[in-house]
Chains A and B, each alone.
Chain A
Amino acid sequence: MPPALDELVEELREADRQERIELLIDLANDLPPLPDRLSQKKDEEHRVPECQSPVFLFLEREGPRVHLFADVPPEAPTVRGFVCLLVRGLDGASVEDVLSVPNDLIQRSGMAELLGMQRTAGLSGVLYRLKAMVARTEATSEPDQAPER
């Protein structure tokens, strides 16, 4: 896991219940707004369908590095907090780094314990969606490779 993400996850993991709530609220408040060039593109293609709330994820490549941007409504602070964790922890990471983020990140960070079983589903959706997007840019950015059969 990239060190920035590792640090955030570790901080959450070590926190008690109330501290976790506060850390997540801080993260939710810290999610940077979408840059203007992306705010026009909030369409179904960029929407995370697993989330009840309208959550949009964007990815930009800069050589081997990825940059993440997201839009999450303020009424869904838990999703905002989790998305901000990913944006802060993975911005500038390599494609491999993103793809190797453990799928049980929500469990590892102790968030699952806080949220309970039924609330973690939408959040897992964000992570899977992000990985799928990164994998797709990887496939399209290397046209020399033989197309998948």
Chain B
Amino acid sequence: MAEYAHPEILVSADWVEQHRDDPRVRIVESDEDILLYDMGHVPGAVKIDWQGDLQDQLIRDYIDAEKFAEICSRSGIANDTTVVFYGDKSNWWACYAFWAFKLFGHDDCRIMDGGRKLWIDQDRPLSKETPSYPRTDYTVKGSDPSAIRIFRDEVLAHQKAGKKLIDVRSPGEYTGELLHMPDYPQEGSLRAGHIPGAKSVPWSRAVNEDGTFKSADELKAIFEQEAGLNSADEVVAYCRIGERSSLTWFVLTYLLGYPKVRNYDGSWTEWGNLVGVPVARGSE
């Protein structure tokens, strides 16, 4: 049986219980549903919200380095802290927060396998108390976001060069059957379909019912045998707003060890509204 390429990046719920009071470790909950943290979280965990904290509220982008440093400082995260992310929806948003932390070059990021669901299903302790930690003096190290993030012009060049694209939305969104979701004015696109050449691998195929990630062998079967990827490939993953694809980015990068995977966070809400870019309908 094959091992994950970077098994240390995925920590178990047991590991988290053992390191809850470890000052070198900070546990971070990041959820789709904004109420969950306050209803009970892993004791000692802080909440970082993908939307309210990590995204700029005016322009469509992430916060700047100064604001990121402030979030880390107030959460008691220092440059050398091991940050463990977990959340709802099979760690979908935890992976998004993980990706954003990597954009700012944070060194030691991990994901708790199984996320919030498995923790609760295993009857592990929950707390409603919001902890506070001594402030740190966080400094954003210059990292190179272009290694994990890609913008539309580069996506177009990538597509034209026939390089690998993975569309992780639902099959209906991929084929273009769902022209737009009714009454979704903020997430609508004027064109439906997918980027030509992209293979459809819905994000949820990478996870089990209990919220854990599938085994390396199962992931290889999906991404290599079915979708035809190879670890040497340059791969771009996208979805609707770049959140689901950050989970796929995580899987390819850390569980399968692909060194050249980028998340297109503009995703379909950008591509499906761009003038003059190629779009394909139906299955490929």
Contacts and interface: CB of A to CB of B under 8 A. Distances in A.
A124 interface: yes
Contact of A50 (B33, B35, B52, B183): B183
A21 B33 CA distance: 11
B34 A119 contact: yes
B34 A114 contact: yes
Contacts of A121: 181, 183-187
Contact of A25 (B38, B88, B89, B117): B38
Interface string A23-39: 01100100000000000
B82 interface: no
Contacts of B142: none
B134 interface: no
B51 A118 contact: yes
Contacts of A92: none
A125 interface: yes
Label chain A's interface by main secondary structure: helix
B241 interface: yes
B39 A50 contact: no
Interface string B176-193: 000001111111000000
Interface in A35-59: 49-50, 52
B36 interface: yes
A72 to B, nearest CB: 11
Contacts of A49: 181-182
Contacts, number: 60
B38 A21 contact: yes
B32 A28 contact: no
Interface size class of B (residues with CB under 8 A): 20 to 34
A78 B187 CA distance: 19
Nearest to A29: B39
Contacts of A79: 33
Contacts of B182: 49-50, 125, 128
Given A77-B33, A77-B36, A114-B34, A50 B184 contact: yes
A115 B49 CA distance: 10
A22 interface: yes
Contacts of A3: none
Interface string A57-100: 00000000000000000011111010000000000000000000
A115 B241 CA distance: 16
A117 interface: yes
Interface in A99-145: 114-121, 124-125, 128
Interface of B: 32-36, 38-39, 51-52, 55, 88-89, 117, 181-187, 241
A-B pairs, top 8 by smallest CB distance, nearest first, are A116-B51, A77-B35, A128-B183, A121-B184, A78-B33, A21-B38, A117-B186, A78-B35
14 contacts: A21-B38, A25-B38, A25-B39, A28-B35, A49-B181, A50-B183, A77-B35, A77-B39, A114-B34, A116-B55, A117-B51, A121-B183, A121-B186, A128-B183
Given A24-B35, A76-B33, 10 more contacts: A21-B35, A49-B181, A116-B55, A118-B187, A121-B181, A121-B185, A121-B187, A125-B181, A125-B182, A125-B184
